[in-house]
Chain A
Amino acid sequence: QSALTQPRSVSGSPGQSVTISCTGTSSDVGAYDYVSWYQHHPGKAPKLMIYAVSERPSGIPDRFSGSKSGNTASLTISGLQAEDETDYYCCSYAGTYTHWVFGGGTKLTVL
């Protein structure tokens, strides 16, 4: 069982928006603004989409946005495109002992 809880799957139609939640605790998501999100096409290298809760790396479209409230972080993908269909993982810093915890991953289906 992963430390952070994500829905196993979400879906949306092209052009719509979807939000993926990531629930942790006051020791990880709630304690640090170091939540990141990764897009992972199986067999490929995972790709950083969001870091520091809501920052986008260079080259990531502004259709991807992140937020956090309390112990829950969220990734919102607007204007869904077919190529967005894949797995998404959240991650949070959890202090100097545990270091990093991941969510179990969410499979996004574009209908």
Chain B
Amino acid sequence: EVQLVESGGGLVQPGGSLRLSCAASGFTFSTYSMDWVRQTPGKGLEWISYITGSSNSIHYADSVKGRFTVSRDNAKNSLYLQMNNLRAEDTAVYYCVGDASYAFQIWGEGTMVIVSS
């Protein structure tokens, strides 16, 4: 079964850090570009980062550039998102997504991040 499972979410104070992980199974992880997409409470979806299968190309949305870092370990079939200097507006459900054919093909069920004092 094709599956993505996110972990690492939780409650963090403004200015704090959190590292999200995503475990992939059921498909050849290294051949997929991967993204992080978030959904803020009561609002829509927002793309925030992209990484190619070989990690040779990485991109971020302006809203997280300089604060978030995406990485992957193909040997462990895992994707990561290091989030620093968190703000209240980063409160969201974060989805790990497998990207192919210019579409978000495979989604996890998400992990909730709450930034609050």
Contact of A91 among B4, B104, B107, B109 (CB under 8 A): B104
CB of A36 within 8 A of CB of B104, answer yes
Q: What is the interface of chain B mostly: helix, strand, loop, or mixed?
A: strand
From 23 to 66 in chain B, residues with beta carbon under 8 angstroms from any chain A beta carbon are 35, 43-47, 50, 59, 61
Interface size on A, residues (CB 8 A): 26
Contact count band on B:
20 to 34
Binary CB contact string for chain B from 83 to 116 against chain A (1 if under 8 A, 0 otherwise): 0000000000001000001111101111000000
A45 x B103 contact (CB < 8 A): no
Sorted from nearest, which 4 A-B pairs have the closest CB atoms? A51-B103, A100-B47, A34-B102, A45-B107
Contact surface of B with A, Cβ cutoff 8 Å: 4, 35, 43-47, 50, 59, 61, 95, 101-105, 107-110
